[in-house]
Every structure is written in structure tokens, then in C-alpha cells.
Structure 1
Amino acid sequence: MTDGNLHPSAQRVADAATKLGLTINIVTFEHSTRTAVEAAQAVGCDVGQIVKSLVFTVKDEPVIALVSGANQLDTRKLAALFGVGRKQVERATAETVRSATGFAIGGVPPFGHATSTSIYIDKDLTQYDVIWAAAGTPNAVFAITPTALVRAVSGHVSDLKADPAAKAAN
């Protein structure tokens, strides 16, 4: 799974994967994989194959949205999943991200979080055979199939993608 020389945060991800019955190989780079573009360049894949782990609060409760690196999340769609207005959905602060997940922004993995939160998965990620997610640090990632990810996190696959045409019309 790993070489044993992982950063402690990446090791927590490796341990969480094992507990979930997953076999992953965490790849650590010398340079940042903090953004979807940086991660895609590092691993040599399409930016759409990168999993962005985004933390929002819905009615002040943390929620995680795993979004394709090619997409922006539509907060109206996330709000609709909870039956609330868009104004009740906000991007989480760095402090909230860390307290909810146990990880800093830029390295938040899709599992192994400090607290149990609802997880929603961008349906666009399911079109790929393999996707890449952060592994606890801003320069570590791992590959996983969308099916394995959905199963591991008990995620709700949903249409989360912002429609650029609708945004331009508003």
C-alpha cells in the first residue's frame, strides 16, 4: 500500500483506507498537488479525474462535496438536496474544514475524517475508470475507482455541477 515513509496525515489516509477495505497507493510529489490543475499535471490525467474535496456548511453543519476538478459546485443544487435555500449553504472556513475533517484545505481526502459528515459525489466523476484524490497533504494523492469511492464513503451521487450558461444568464 505505502512505503512507510509517509507524512503523518497521509498515513492517516492510508490507515483509513485499510479500515474501509481499500488498497490504495499514496503517491507523494516534491511539488504541490493542492489544485485540480496541479494534481492532474502531476499524475498525467485529465483535470476532470481529480476529486476536489470541498467542505460547505448547510444550516451550520459541515457537508462534504466531492467534485470533479473540471467542475464548479452549484450551491443551489447542494441546497436543494437538503431542502433549504441557497443562503443556508456556505463555504466552510479553514477552521471548520480542519475540525470536521482533521485535514487542512488543499489536502482533504474523501475519507478518514475526524467527524461523520454527509458526503455528496459529483456524478461527473463516475464517467472515469480511475479518479485521483488528495491523500492528506497538499502534495500527496491516490487513485481509486469511482465505484470504490462511492461505496467506501457511502456517498450520495448527485448532479452538483454548476451550469456556466445559467450562471452567465444571472
Structure 2
Amino acid sequence: MSSLDHPAVAKVAAALAEAGQHDAARGIRILPAEVRTAAQAAEALGVTVGAIANSLIFRAVYADHTGPLLSLTSGAHRADTGRLAELVGAVSVEKADPAFVKEHTGQVIGGVAPVGHPARIPTIVDTALEQYDVVWAAAGHAKSVFPTTFADLLALTGGQAAGVGT
């Protein structure tokens, strides 16, 4: 099975097409090797690391429940968990373990896409991504990426734009 046929990649392609982002769906690129970090993805694509949208799943702890939070963070910096908690009204935002990520996205760390999840995840889109004409995001597998824009990431995810980096 090629990576393009991978079930998670197929779900991402379907979600992009369903959202009317056919160019992004057709633009899914399968890289020769896995790219589990923004630096690896930027090198493979020949772009600056800031143009990589890291899809980071966190465990958001609220007063009455815990749930996933997706931060689409520029690869040029790290997500500030205190800032994320403030933005979503959580008591805290913590690193999620691989099982939590897989449960809420259907994807594994290193290939988590902004879409294609079993249910919509509250999302913050880093305003640092706005400066790039093309932003690259994972497409459900550690060897897959797709081109998009800051505005399209907001539209795709229903996300909130905010500065999240340190």
C-alpha cells in the first residue's frame, strides 16, 4: 500500500475535498522519508521552517472535563501551553500521550493533520503562519503533507487565530 492509500491520508483528502479545498486534496505530497518534525519537513520541501504548520494535540484540562486541543503552530517556535490554556479557558494545557492523540485524531504523532479526525477538535491557528503565502501541514501520515494557507486552515478547522509561540 502506498502512503497515499493509507486510511488516515485518505480521510484527510476526503475532508479537504468535502470542505471545497480540492487543490489542497490534489496537492497531497508523499515524501520519500518520514518527516516527524518541522525541521525535517522544511528540509524535505525546501521551505523555511516557519512555513510548516505543526499539528500539536494537547490535553486541555477544564474545571469539569478534559478534552483535546489542536494547536496549528508555526514550526519556527514552540507552543506556549500557558497561552493556549488562557485562550480556551482551560485550567491547564498539557502534552498529550500517543494514545490520547490517536484516540482523538485517528492519526499518530508525526503525521497529525488539521482535519480528518473522528470529531471536530477545538483549534488555535498560530498567527505567525499568516506571513507565508503557502503553509505546509501534515496529511495524516508522517510521509504526507499538503499545501494550504493560513486563511484556509482557519476555514478548515473553524479555528481561532492567535499568537501561540514562544
Look up the match of 1:12: 11
Match of 2:72 among 62, 66, 73: 66
Corresponding residue SS for 2:58: strand
Distance 1:98 1:143 in 2: 23
**In structure 2, what residue type is equivalent to 1:56?**
F
Look up the match of 2:132: 128
What is the identity percentage for the equivalent residue pairs of Structure 1 and Structure 2? Answer: 38
**In structure 2, what residue type is equivalent to 1:105?**
I
Match of 2:39 among 14, 37, 40: 37
Gaps of 5+ in 2: none
**Which deviations, in whole Å up to 9, do the C-alpha atoms of 1:91-146 show, x marking residues without a partner?**
11111101111100000001111122100011101111110000111111010111
The structure with more radius of gyration:
1
Corresponding residue SS for 2:123: strand
Aligned-pair CA distance for 1:84: 3.8
**In structure 1, what residue type is equivalent to 2:16?**
A
Mapping of 1:40-59 within 5 angstroms? 40-59=42-61
Q: Output the TM-score relative to the length of structure 2.
A: 0.90
Distance 1:81 1:10 in 2: 30
**In structure 1, what residue type is equivalent to 2:141?**
T
Quick check: 2:4–2:30 contact (8 Å CA) kept in 1?
A: no
Corresponding residue SS for 2:5: coil
Corresponding residue SS for 1:136: coil
Quick check: 2:60–2:85 contact (8 Å CA) kept in 1?
A: yes
Quick check: 2:154–2:160 contact (8 Å CA) kept in 1?
A: yes
Gaps of 5+ in 1: 163-170
Quick check: 2:57–2:96 contact (8 Å CA) kept in 1?
A: yes
Q: Output the TM-score relative to the length of structure 1.
A: 0.88
Distance 1:13 1:26 in 2: 9
Mapping of 1:67-146 within 5 angstroms? 67-85=73-91, 88-146=92-150
5-14 or 34-43: bigger deviation? 5-14
Aligned-pair CA distance for 1:5: 4.9
Aligned alpha-carbon RMSD (Å): 1.6
Quick check: 2:8–2:116 contact (8 Å CA) kept in 1?
A: no
